[in-house]
Amino acid sequence: MVTDLDLARLRRCVELAAAARNRGDHPFGSLLVTADGRTIEAMNTVVTRSDPTGHAETNLVRLAAEALPADVLATSTLYTSTEPCAMCAGAIYWSGIARVVYALAEDGLADIVVEQEGVPTMRLPCREVFARGGRPVAVAGPADLPEAIAVHDHFWG
């Protein structure tokens, strides 16, 4: 279930996605909130760092893992403007993060983006990736947030 507080945090993710887009990166943004309210934010850096793994969620997992111990990650929630791809879901799983909340669903993104730089999108919902693991990851989403779709308008050509 996506709560009103979750929606507010997802709106911040969309703001981060817009900032990434404005600097020339793909429009994705994420944040992590610990149980005691600490927040870490990240944006997509695929273009500006020439790194195909520079998705907002993988960047966030790296930052969070450097800054927080495993027991804190295990009680944290990762929020993201768009459902994590298979790569990002794997990073989230291995980080130990307990919960994921997203706005735009993977299939909704696939309707917008057929391919990225000539590579077809991967249609694999994060719930399917997490279901293959040995620990639970709670997932809430998609959230009805029109701005999570709008941030992609006219970006993907």
> Which is catalytic among the residues 57, 106, 115, 117?
57
Q: Place 157 in a pLDDT band, splitting at 50, 70 and 90.
A: confident
Give the model's confidence band at 61: pLDDT under 50 very low, under 70 low, under 90 confident, else very high: very high
Tell me the C-alpha distance between 49 and 46, whole Å. Answer: 6
**pTM of the predicted structure, to 2 decimals:** 0.96
Q: What is the pLDDT of residues 97-146, one digit of tens each?
A: 999 999 999 999 988 886 666 666 788 999 999 999 999 999 999 999 99
Distance, CA of 59 to CA of 144 (rounded, Å): 25
Is 57 noted as a catalytic residue in this protein? Answer: yes
Task: Give pLDDT tens digits for 16-43.
Answer: 999 999 999 999 999 999 999 999 999 9
- How many residues are listed for the chain in this entry? 157
Cβ partners under 8 Å of residue 82, min gap 6: 17, 28, 102, 103, 104, 105, 106, 109, 148
